[in-house]
Amino acid sequence: MKTLLSGIQPSGTLHIGNYLGAIKQWVELQKSYQVFISIVDLHAITVPQDPQELRKNTLELAALLVACGVDPKKSVLFIQSHVPAHTKLAWVLNTITPVGELERMTQYKEKRERAGTLAGLLNYPVLQAADILLYQPDVVPVGEDQLQHLEFTRTLARKFNSRFGKVFKEPKALIQKEAARIMGLDDPTKKMSKSAPSPNNFIALLDSPEEIRRKIKIAVTDSGRDIRYDEKSKPAISNLMAIYSAFSGMTVSQIEKKYHGKGYADFKRDLGELLVEKLTPIQKKYRELSRDDKKLLAILRSGAKKATGVANKTLSVVKRKVGFVL
Ligand code: ATP
Ligand code: LTN
């Protein structure tokens, strides 16, 4: 079985963009890959975090991932800081990383405006490379914004291998499809994002049915009144149709047929109901899990144990190669 690894930051509530763009794909790929999902708290602290919020967000994210279908029996779900091999390998990789390469990273340049030029932020991609290389994955599903980090990881793997002998596999990016890019409900020209200025930009997975209905009702629409998919001239309704399609399994042309002769209000009402119907079971499972912290922690401890087993194998080869006394 091939291996897949991905990471997700515990930095706030998940929205349907995260679900359709990332989580749903992980859940589907569990059937054909050995999946590792890391909740990357060590990455989260590269920008200031409120400690209580961080702890809450980490557990909430873990519970939501399981509620969305990440199956702890099939996949290895763990908290990054529970597996010390990540920071250990990151240190070794730091010693072969030119600072100039890190200073050129787009995400670093964006984030340092807010967080300052902190060493942790600069070294973020090195820790991400360690996250990945420890598990020798075949594929790493990432959004386009993470391609630069993945390319950096591959370069680092090659560099280490050529200097110390082959240890690491060079993983391939599994680019999330453009169709999976969900745009903001209040501005269909920008992607749906939890850091958008208004919460009306996104539907959080934990939004109440009333909130979901309200946000869909006030979502921006285009001029005209027909339900037609056309990203260029009708970006707003096209985005809502993409969401409808992803949650219903209907194709865009089936949706066009169904709503032929009907208006935005009808379509939006149905979309609201569809989202309520699909998110309610996730929320129910989430509530069950978050009522029982022990069960959730047991899942995460067991994930960390399995991850540690795999990661430590790679780490001990690395230690031997660089000349540490074992
Ligand atoms: P931010 O609010 O800081 O932009 P985010 O909401 O984009 O964060 P991330 O933590 O950057 O969320 O992303 C987690 C995962 O969700 C990534 O794999 C990313 O590609 C995916 N993702 C995020 N937003 C969307 C979106 N609008 N459509 C599809 N996938 C998305
Ligand atoms: N940087 C990524 C999160 C991340 C990750 C990883 C993704 C950390 N380590 C390893 C894939 C593989 C992000 O911000 N989306």
**CATH code, domain with 254:** 1.10.240.10
Q: Which residues contact 148 (CB under 8 A, 6 or more apart)?
A: 105, 106, 107, 125
Cβ of 154 below 6 Å from ligand 2? no
pLDDT in tens, 173-183: 988 665 568 99
Residues 176 and 6 sit within 8 Å (Cβ to Cβ): no
Residue nearest to atom 8 of ligand 2 (CA): 7
Cβ of 132 below 6 Å from ligand 2? yes
> Mean of the per-residue pLDDT values for the chain?
95
- Binning pLDDT at 50, 70 and 90, where does residue 7 land? very high
Residues 260, 234 within the same domain: yes
pLDDT in tens, 99-133: 999 999 999 998 888 888 999 999 999 999 999 99
Residues 253, 167 within the same domain: no
According to the model, what pLDDT value does residue 115 have?
Answer: 80
Domain total in the chain:
2
Residues 174, 217 within the same domain: no
Cβ of 146 below 6 Å from ligand 2? yes
> The domain containing residue 223 runs over which residues?
199-287
- 128 C-alpha to center of ligand 2: Å? 6
pLDDT in tens, 181-194: 899 999 999 999 98
Region 131-156: mean pLDDT is 94
Among 169, 194, 258, 306, the one annotated catalytic: 194
Lowest mean pLDDT among 28-32, 70-74, 141-145, 162-166: 141-145
The pLDDT > 70 percentage for the chain reads 98
According to the model, what pLDDT value does residue 145 have?
Answer: 82
Residue nearest to atom 30 of ligand 1 (CA): 21
Residues 130, 33 within the same domain: yes
- Binning pLDDT at 50, 70 and 90, where does residue 143 land? confident
Residues 225, 215: Cα–Cα separation, whole Å: 19
> Which residues, listed in sequence order, are joined to residue 78 by a DSSP beta bridge?
38
Round to the nearest angstrom and report the end-to-end CA distance of the chain.
31
Q: Which residues contact 299 (CB under 8 A, 6 or more apart)?
A: 62, 66, 72, 77
Active site residue 194: yes
Most ligand 2 atoms within 8 A of CB, residue of 4, 8, 11, 89 to mutate: 8
Amino acid sitting at position 69: G
User: Is 186 among the domain residues?
Assistant: no
Residues 283, 298 within the same domain: no
pLDDT in tens, 189-247: 999 998 888 999 999 999 999 999 999 999 999 998 899 999 999 999 999 999 999 99
Judge whether residue 248 has pLDDT over 60.
yes
Locus of tokens 């379509």: 267
Strand order across the 33-39 sheet: 76-79, 33-39, 2-8, 139-142, 172-175
Burial degree of 270 (CB within 10 A; 0-12, 13-18, 19+): middle
User: Is 193 among the domain residues?
Assistant: no
User: Is 273 among the domain residues?
Assistant: yes
C-alpha distances (whole Å) from 228 to each of 31, 163, 224, 257, 267 are 34, 56, 10, 9, 11
pLDDT in tens, 47-57: 999 999 999 99
Residues 219 and 268 sit within 8 Å (Cβ to Cβ): yes
Region 81-99: mean pLDDT is 98
Region 76-95: mean pLDDT is 98
Residue nearest to atom 3 of ligand 1 (CA): 195
The pLDDT > 90 percentage for the chain reads 89
Residues 150, 49 within the same domain: yes
